[in-house]
Amino acid sequence: MLMDHTAKILYFRTSITIAVPYQTDTNRLFEGIENLFPFFIMIGRLAFPIFCFLLVEGFVHTSNIKRYSIRLFLFALLSEIPYDLAFSKRFVDIHSQNVFFTLWIGLLVIAGLKKYWHSSLRSLPLSLMIIGSGVFVAEWLQTDYGGWIGVLLIVNFYLFRNRKLLKCLFGGLILLQNSVFGLLAFLFIYLYNGQRGRQLKYFFYWFYPVHLLVLVSIQQFLIVPYLLMFILNQ
């Protein structure tokens, strides 16, 4: 995720456009570094499927789903301004919402499935309505990864949580809408041993908004002024 966001936020041609509108020439200054950015983005594609998988694992093992949901929602709100600054260059952009909103909506969907899904035909229409509603809301809000990828991945990991091969196969088909290289993430998911790792959850919650603010600051206060000075001195 950090590599993906570094490439997208610090992309120098975008920074030049911010510094001097309609100027797109990097004068070869940063071309060597820019050549690494596609690789950064490719590696970054591994992050989201793993986030969705860990969300479901957290849901299955949490002792308080309501508190889990509130925590996700609060961090979604907290992360929105950093996200908008990073990707829309404005404080508020109603046309794009951060990934915490996608995870939060997915959590509400699987909470509904847990309550109403009973592996019977009678519960199928209601379960489909719950899933469809989650997909619709995520797409309507234009959350990161949206409903057709984000929410469906979370639903897939929940419904097939005890069937490694199926959740990886179906998950891969869902992710193909966005990425091919991201399929590699399912290797790690398949090999997951079911054991709990080190407890650093709040570190990762805070890491999302903080790293966006740091990258935006680097772009706005270091890269853009330097590029502006360089271009004007040409």
Q: Could you state, in order of their start, the residue ranges of all structural domains in the chain?
A: 1-44+209-234, 48-197
Distance CA 88, CA 224 (A): 16
Q: Pick the residue with more confidence: 233 or 111?
A: 111
CA quadruple 188, 194, 197, 200: dihedral sign: positive
Q: What's the token pair of residue 66?
A: 């309501």
What average pLDDT does range 117-136 have in this prediction? Answer: 86
Lowest mean pLDDT among 5-9, 36-40, 136-140, 220-224: 220-224
Is the pLDDT at 52 greater than 80? The verdict is yes
Q: What is the pLDDT of residue 37?
A: 78
3-state secondary structure of 143: strand
Q: What is the pLDDT of residue 12?
A: 58
Q: How confident is the model at residue 83 (pLDDT cuts 50, 70, 90)?
A: very high
pTM for the model: 0.88
What average pLDDT does range 3-17 have in this prediction? Answer: 72
Environment class of residue 143 by beta-carbon count within 10 Å: exposed (0-12), middle (13-18) or buried (19+)? buried
Distance CA 82, CA 87 (A): 9
Is the pLDDT at 86 greater than 60? The verdict is yes
Q: Pick the residue with more confidence: 50 or 24?
A: 50
Q: What is the pLDDT of residue 13?
A: 57
Mean pLDDT score of the chain, rounded to an integer? Answer: 86
* Residue 200: count of CB within 10 angstroms of its CB: 9
Taking the CA atoms of residue 118, residue 123, residue 127 and residue 129 in that order, the dihedral angle to the nearest 10 degrees is -170
